[in-house]
Structure 1
Amino acid sequence: MTVDDQSLTTQLTAQGEERVRALMGEMTLEEKLAQLVGLWEGRGGSGEGGDVAPMQDAMQAEVDELEGYATHGLGQLTRVFGTTPVEPADQARALARKQQWLQQNTRLGIPALVHEECLTGLAAWKATTFPAPPSWGASFHPELVEEMGRAIGDSMRSLGVHQGLAPVLDVVRDARWGRVEECISEDPYLVGTVATAYVRGVQSAGVVATLKHFVGYSNSRAGRNLAPVHAGQREIADVFLPPFEMAVRDGGVDSVMNSYAEVDGIPVAADAELLTTLLRDRWGFTGTVVADYFSVAFLHTLHGVAGDLGEAAAQALVAGIDVELPTGTAYLEPLADLVRSGVVAESVVDRALHRVLAQKERLGLLDATFDPDAVGDVDLDPQPHRELAARIAEESVILLTNDGSLPLAAGRKVAVVGPNADVTNALFGCYSFANHVLAQHPSFELGLEVATLREALGTELGEVTYAKGCDVLGDDTSGFAAAVAAADDADVVVAVMGDLAGLFGRGTSGEGCDADSLELPGVQRGLVEALLGTGTPVVLVLLTGRPYAVDWAVERCAAVVQAFFPGQEGAQAVAGVLSGRVNPSGHLPVTMPRSVGAQPYSYLHPRLGGASSVSNLDTAPVLPFGHGLSYTTFEHTDLRLGSASVPTSGAITATVTVRNTGTRDGADVVQLYGQDVVASVTRPVIQLLGYARVELAAGESAEVTFDVPTTRLAFSDRRLVRVVEPGEVLVSVGASCADLAATEAVSLTGDVHEVGPDDRRVVDVTVRRLGRG
């Protein structure tokens, strides 16, 4: 496909608008509806390799081949590269032939938009697998995430893919939820800034990014996938919506995907207040809303708010879903019958059609040419992408505790033990190609050069001994004896525990892999306890998709290291931290919970949500949001505010000096927090206002200034209007939400300020280096 190399624009030119209108005027109803659906060739039902979408076996399309399905045209092609293992270059040629067929065999010759999953990199065979989103959050480095987004977008564009189904902006509220591994953080601002950076990166490559899952999905009852969401409108407005608003208004995203959730009894897929009134009328979104897979049909089959597929299609289309994915089961014949009978106005079809064609025009698809013979060699895992994956992995590894055993001293005898020590899949999330697709095709090689942690430690440290000890799941303890023997013969044990990502119960983390306990899965805790019983120092390494309740390990292990599915370069990153080659700089994007009984939990709780003498359940976390250690030390001093009083419509300026007080270079994440002392509704005891990742040489200092718009303190008042109220605010700086070095008070003055669309949402940060001394 030939398209100018430029960033995606979300604005349609006057000439483009005229062209789209003229094209719409030529179209029959069948041709219009064909543009509003996707096609998942060969996979409308479960097909070869097992399900990779919820209840996909119940949604079999009658026709699932392009030639029989798309006689009137086609809106989208679903997962051409991400359904089964295919050679990228061969499939790129096959895709070009499909596009040629559409141009030559449909009356209007409109090419299909092609979408793929891309949460941890393009979900295609042999494509670079980057760290999972909690690792993005742990890095506190949106600029680096933007680089990753551009790299992913470049890979998609090189194949003829136009849309990526990422990022996920769900705010973590319950560690039991299997899809925590797809989320960036439990803090809405961190989610919003990092996700917006990802959007900018992907769309700078001329590819559409897609926000998921709009909205409330992560607050599902009991942490169960696809369960009802019971959240008040204030919680939706103040916790779940702000990241989406940032990505729409500040990131210019061109697509949004609805949530499967039903929020207080109303399925999002049929909620016009969310999909149209809020998203489009208030936020000014101009792109397409695409259905999460089968969610239109779910209005009939799961939610029970539609009597049949036609009624489901009508509700979704009127609410604001423009494109039915992955395959059109409701937006074709069932919807056509309702339009012809006058039940659904054709103008509603035209509204969605205009958005779809406008997007294709902006992408250059309406003028694209396709030549299978022009497709050359394709490298989806180039060296720069691997280097970028390594940088993100290194910056995201979190040193939770350390009694001085790390970094590992040269010459020590090291035993590497645990179910995740010598398997590559332990490094990948559920939406990686390895675990999402390839795990169901065992005859295929991974297609990437990926070291296990055992292998990476051998490279870093020399010879290590190894014993598996147990599996991730199961109750078999027969391997404990060999693991204990290895520990007895070593100076230190590196115990590598955690998750195996999978789908719908085929793993311990991932979509449909929810937890009813936050103990390490299987008998892993028993293995660690046996290792601790030897008296040999144990360094616990957690390769997981969610935070686990590991208070016992924090108290007894020599060190604990957390990595959230760090990707194909993750083993080297973790090994580098253990050896000292890498100075750890990751910080917790989620709280480390005390127990499953404390769930759901967020550090953003009001006073009533904290630990209390009137309950026997202790909600206090084991380690707080923002926590992370280093092999050097940092000092935060001289916090000062630009003014003791600020208008409610203004900005708070806070400056702090950060100094590397240790003996080696490192990176600190300076965290600025706020507390609204008295408000008309209950507020969090503390909330992140802004952050800055600062690289400092040993002995070096820097002055960090945060320009914080007062909207960072906005909330929905008793009228459910987003406001900034006058009153006292405490501003603090520290190394985590619970480790504050200094606090100053500022008074917000004037009238209650109602937040408008032109109000700034993002904190500006400047760093002035002061040198050493």
Structure 2
Amino acid sequence: MTTAPWRDPALPAAARVDDLLSRMTLEEKTAQLYGVWVGAATDGDGVAPLQSEMAADYDYDELINHGLGQLTRSYGTAPVDPALGAQALASAQRRIAAAGRFGIPAVAHEECLAGFTAWGATAYPVPLAWGATFDPGLVEEMARRIGHDLRAAGVHQGLAPVLDVVRDPRWGRVEETIGEDPYLVGTIGTAYVRGLESAGVIATLKHFAGYASSAGARNLAPVRAGVREFADVTLPPFEMALREGGARSVMAAYTDTDGIPASADPALLTGLLREEWGFTGTVVADYFGIAFLQTLHRVAGSPAEAAHAALTAGIDVELPSLNCYGRPLLEAVRTGEVPESLVDRAARRVLLQKCELGLLDEDWDPEPATALDLDSAANRDVAGRLAQESVVLLDNPDGLLPLAPDTRIAVVGPRAADALAMLGCYSFPSHVLPRHPEVPMGIDIPTVLDALRTELPDAKVTFAEGCGVSDPDASGFEEAVARASEADVCVAVLGDRAGLFGRGTSGEGCDVTDLRLPGVQGELLDRLVATGVPVVLVLLTGRPYALGRWQGRLGAVVQAFFPGEEGGPAVAGVLSGRVSPSGRLPVSVPREPGGQPWTYLQPPLGLAGEVSNLDPTPLYAFGHGRSYTTFAWEDFTGTTPGITTDGSCDLSLTVRNTGDRAGAEVVQLYLHDPVASVTRPDVRLIGYRRLELEPGAAARVTFRFHADLSAFTDRSGTRVVEPGALELRLAASSAEVRHTARLRLTGPVRPLGPDRRLRCETEVSPAE
């Protein structure tokens, strides 16, 4: 075998794989199409839905004699010292290679949504916090660091990013998304993909497609999305991350759309993804997603039928184990129920990817790094910068913030002194450690309380928890009120507890009926406000909550979306004034807890009007965020009589920091289409640029608008640019317009193909 063409690295990958496939038995080919989850719990809920019910029955030693496609979560299943874990993974890979005829190791995959999901690895802010930064460059830097840590530990594929666009903030997995706007999700998500792929790790886009549009905000519920919503809101982030980011894998969603499960949809996974978009990588199943075709969707009557449907649709790899692509698929191919050509097609894609990774090379070496530091000082620095940029100052009407350095501060609330308040559902401490209470956290996570005491050493800081996150016990109210009454200012730290499948108030399977603060936290806040002491509300959450009940009654409001291990110092830095807040909302903050689903991407009938007594206008709009300094937007240029439906134009303005301290402004470009052949969102984001400026400094930013950015899906299902009037609005948020350019598109309706322009390019130059 060592002299066979498939071993020759000088040959094209396709030629090598074709030669290898010609030598493989059916058993060896199907072995490349599934993963094995060694060490997964078969009792209780584990770390995946229905994990115990779906546990596969197999003899591992016999199984690997034919090879193995993937190894599932060697680090993210149980706490293990990273260095020992790397050695164990390398040993497992040698064993797999030695067992099979061809000596081919498995692809090792891991979760990496907010950092490498391993014990002792850096816990970065969650994706919703990435969105709040409006800083793709910093997100790319974070992802690059995550990728290097994964590769050093022997991991080849990361199951991230999540590119679902928020459609209903009651959904538990909002914390895993980047926001409610497809352009923001696409640009930030693409930056993550670039960073991960630059480290040699396969990025896996999920969940393809429509998962966040589930009915009633229930996890895995059927998708209620029309053709145009699917095309114009759901799909663009995936298209951008594939075309511009170079993602090499896609994960099929659990959900079904209009009766068709994504995992059994050839039009989605083959027609659109491969034939239209030109994707050549691998499609993997979400955990147990193929088996769910039989057990949950009931579009298959057996595991073999489920395997047939998924292979036909275009799923190449069954994860996390082999319920369907193992023995059931083998027998179905042998009896002629499933064409062997489907197995060949999927195996070829898997082996091409292994060839790209060097796993077919004779000199492949699984030897891990001699030392692994998964929470390095450099990692923590990036985590800290990302956390700082993600904190959103929602309100500070009377300048209560920053806090005076020698004031009396009562810190109150269930999130103030809990390190887990910083972490999302897919961080290792929240995801795995609840089943291992005897194991320490593995990383240092300062709380808001500890960080504030460090930040303001001359302040007198007292603390009372007040209540729990979600329990109804109000017995701690009196102590909390007493501490607040003795202080000059009260900092109320409220929010979510991340968890899995109902064990938290945010996270996978932790959906809610409305957007009230969890438990009795709202009642605690009422009691604190009633003391008359100024209250600073700090929210550490995985979703936005309705705050209209306290409008005009709070001294300041600070929002942080699970800001990671350095989130405590970041929040405390904003409270003290060391950090100038620069985050912007990636999701709207509602006024009232009901009235969902609602996002800012509303056509005219979705906005407030005289035909209904219900006003859905949010309390704080998408893109909103305050600062400790001020900015002037000057010298706007961009008025043009018109461009063709294939034309472009520039809009420019100068942003000047007119305050006495450094700060960052986020200039946002929105499109308003007054008349179209189908209803359109009143405004939608098509460009943005974050500008960091010293006091008195100025920068000139230019947006290069192309008519492709006005495109939408028409009545025939075709993406088109229509002639007519447009407004381009430069704004500080979706509701705070500073300058407007009116122009007219001329010429014919222009259908767009897969080469359409996806982003608005920007350029920043020094201002005179």
Scaled by the length of structure 1, the TM-score of the pair is 0.96
| Mapped pair 1:112 → 2:117 | no
| Mapped pair 1:263 → 2:260 | no
Report the equivalent of 1:341. Answer: 335
- Residues 438-457 of structure 1 aligned to structure 2 (within 5 Å): 438-457=433-452
In structure 2, what is the Cα distance between the partners aligned to 1:255 and 1:668? 35
In structure 2, what is the Cα distance between the partners aligned to 1:597 and 1:652? 41
Report the equivalent of 2:6. Answer: none
In the TM superposition, residue 686 of structure 1 has moved relative to its aligned partner by 0.6
- Opposite residue 756 of structure 1, the aligned amino acid is G
| Mapped pair 1:605 → 2:599 | no
- Opposite residue 478 of structure 2, the aligned amino acid is A
In the TM superposition, residue 44 of structure 1 has moved relative to its aligned partner by 6.6
Report the equivalent of 2:4. Answer: none
- Residues 161-200 of structure 1 aligned to structure 2 (within 5 Å): 161-200=155-194
| Mapped pair 1:743 → 2:740 | yes
In structure 1, what is the Cα distance between the partners aligned to 2:131 and 2:633? 22
Report the equivalent of 2:278. Answer: 284
8 Å Cα contact 1:74/1:111 also seen in 2: yes
- Opposite residue 708 of structure 1, the aligned amino acid is F
Distance 1:523 1:367, change over 3 A: same
In the TM superposition, residue 698 of structure 1 has moved relative to its aligned partner by 1.3
SS of residue paired to 2:633: strand
- Residues 452-463 of structure 1 aligned to structure 2 (within 5 Å): 452-462=447-457, 463=460
8 Å Cα contact 1:45/1:61 also seen in 2: no
Q: CA RMSD in A?
A: 1.4
2:55 to 54, 60, 68: 60
In the TM superposition, residue 550 of structure 1 has moved relative to its aligned partner by 1.0
8 Å Cα contact 1:97/1:371 also seen in 2: no
Report the equivalent of 2:426. Answer: 431
1:528 to 525, 528, 541: 525
- Opposite residue 366 of structure 1, the aligned amino acid is L
In the TM superposition, residue 369 of structure 1 has moved relative to its aligned partner by 5.4
In structure 1, what is the Cα distance between the partners aligned to 2:340 and 2:366? 37
Report the equivalent of 1:5. Answer: none
2:225 to 221, 228, 231: 231
In the TM superposition, residue 637 of structure 1 has moved relative to its aligned partner by 3.0
Q: Which moved more, 1:744-753 or 1:171-180?
A: 744-753
8 Å Cα contact 2:639/2:741 also seen in 1: no
In the TM superposition, residue 333 of structure 1 has moved relative to its aligned partner by 1.2
In the TM superposition, residue 663 of structure 1 has moved relative to its aligned partner by 1.4
Residue segments in structure 2 that go unaligned for 5+ positions in a row: 1-8
1:693 to 690, 714, 733: 690
Q: Deviations over 1:447-475 (max 9, x none)?
A: 11110110000000124111110000111
Q: Deviations over 1:215-254 (max 9, x none)?
A: 1110110101010101111110000000000011111110
- Opposite residue 30 of structure 2, the aligned amino acid is L
SS of residue paired to 2:250: strand
Scaled by the length of structure 2, the TM-score of the pair is 0.97
Report the equivalent of 1:254. Answer: 248
| Mapped pair 1:768 → 2:765 | yes
In structure 2, what is the Cα distance between the partners aligned to 1:521 and 1:374? 44
In structure 2, what is the Cα distance between the partners aligned to 1:646 and 1:66? 64
- Opposite residue 734 of structure 1, the aligned amino acid is A
In structure 1, what is the Cα distance between the partners aligned to 2:751 and 2:526? 55
Report the equivalent of 1:81. Answer: 75
Report the equivalent of 1:205. Answer: 199
SS of residue paired to 2:552: helix
In the TM superposition, residue 52 of structure 1 has moved relative to its aligned partner by 1.3
In structure 1, what is the Cα distance between the partners aligned to 2:375 and 2:336? 52
SS of residue paired to 2:290: helix
In structure 2, what is the Cα distance between the partners aligned to 1:674 and 1:638? 20
In the TM superposition, residue 19 of structure 1 has moved relative to its aligned partner by 1.1
Q: Deviations over 1:544-589 (max 9, x none)?
A: 0000001123421100000000000000000000000000000000
Q: Which moved more, 1:577-586 or 1:544-553?
A: 544-553
In structure 2, what is the Cα distance between the partners aligned to 1:66 and 1:708? 56
In the TM superposition, residue 692 of structure 1 has moved relative to its aligned partner by 0.2
In the TM superposition, residue 31 of structure 1 has moved relative to its aligned partner by 0.7
In the TM superposition, residue 368 of structure 1 has moved relative to its aligned partner by 6.5
- Opposite residue 394 of structure 1, the aligned amino acid is Q
Distance 1:375 1:765, change over 3 A: closer
Report the equivalent of 1:487. Answer: 484
Q: Which moved more, 1:162-171 or 1:647-656?
A: 647-656
- Opposite residue 742 of structure 2, the aligned amino acid is A
- Residues 309-708 of structure 1 aligned to structure 2 (within 5 Å): 309-367=303-361, 375-402=369-396, 403-462=398-457, 463-641=460-638, 643-708=640-705
Distance 1:395 1:375, change over 3 A: closer
Q: Deviations over 1:653-700 (max 9, x none)?
A: 211221112111110000111101110000111111100000111122
8 Å Cα contact 1:639/1:743 also seen in 2: no
SS of residue paired to 2:767: strand
Distance 1:587 1:536, change over 3 A: same
1:716 to 713, 719, 733: 713
- Opposite residue 338 of structure 2, the aligned amino acid is V
8 Å Cα contact 1:547/1:592 also seen in 2: yes
Q: Deviations over 1:719-767 (max 9, x none)?
A: 0100010000011111101011121201111111111222221111101
SS of residue paired to 2:698: strand
